[in-house]
Amino acid sequence: MIYRGSCHCGTVAYEVEAEFDSALSCNCSICARKAPLLAAVPHASLRVTTPEAGKAYTFNKHQIVHRFCPTCGIHPYGEDAAEGPERSAYVNLRCLEDFDPAVLPLIEFDGRNAL
């Protein structure tokens, strides 16, 4: 199924083709503050549909590029920093149109102590 997502003001928008079977809640220092519910998808499944892809922010080991809107500040998605065929995107399920992430089982990820 193809879903559309965006930041609050629509400056950063995308489409993602995926079937979601769970939502991930992470407790790393950034996710604890912004509170996304995430789902990993193959990077090729994500297509940014606006000229603005979002400002990039990385921290710690710089493995994930966190994308946020320079206008409204919402974090609609992230992506692996490394290129390659196994690259993933991390969709903020709370930013999808007509989708209720509460219907999915929640996986708690201990990002604070990972790696």
What is residue 115's predicted lDDT score, i.e. its pLDDT?
A: 59
Structural domain boundaries of the chain? Answer: 2-109
DSSP string, 63-108: -EEEEE-TTT----EEEESS-STT-EEEEEGGGBTT--GGGSPEEE
Per-residue pLDDT tens over the stretch 68-103: 999 999 999 999 998 888 899 999 999 999 999 999
For residue 30, the SS3 value is coil
- Kindly list the distances between the CA atom of residue 30 and the CA atoms of 20, 27, 37, 85, in Å, as whole numbers in the listed order: 23, 8, 13, 26
Is CATH 3.90.470.20 the right assignment for the domain spanning 2-109? no
Per-residue pLDDT tens over the stretch 12-44: 999 999 999 999 999 988 899 999 999 999 999
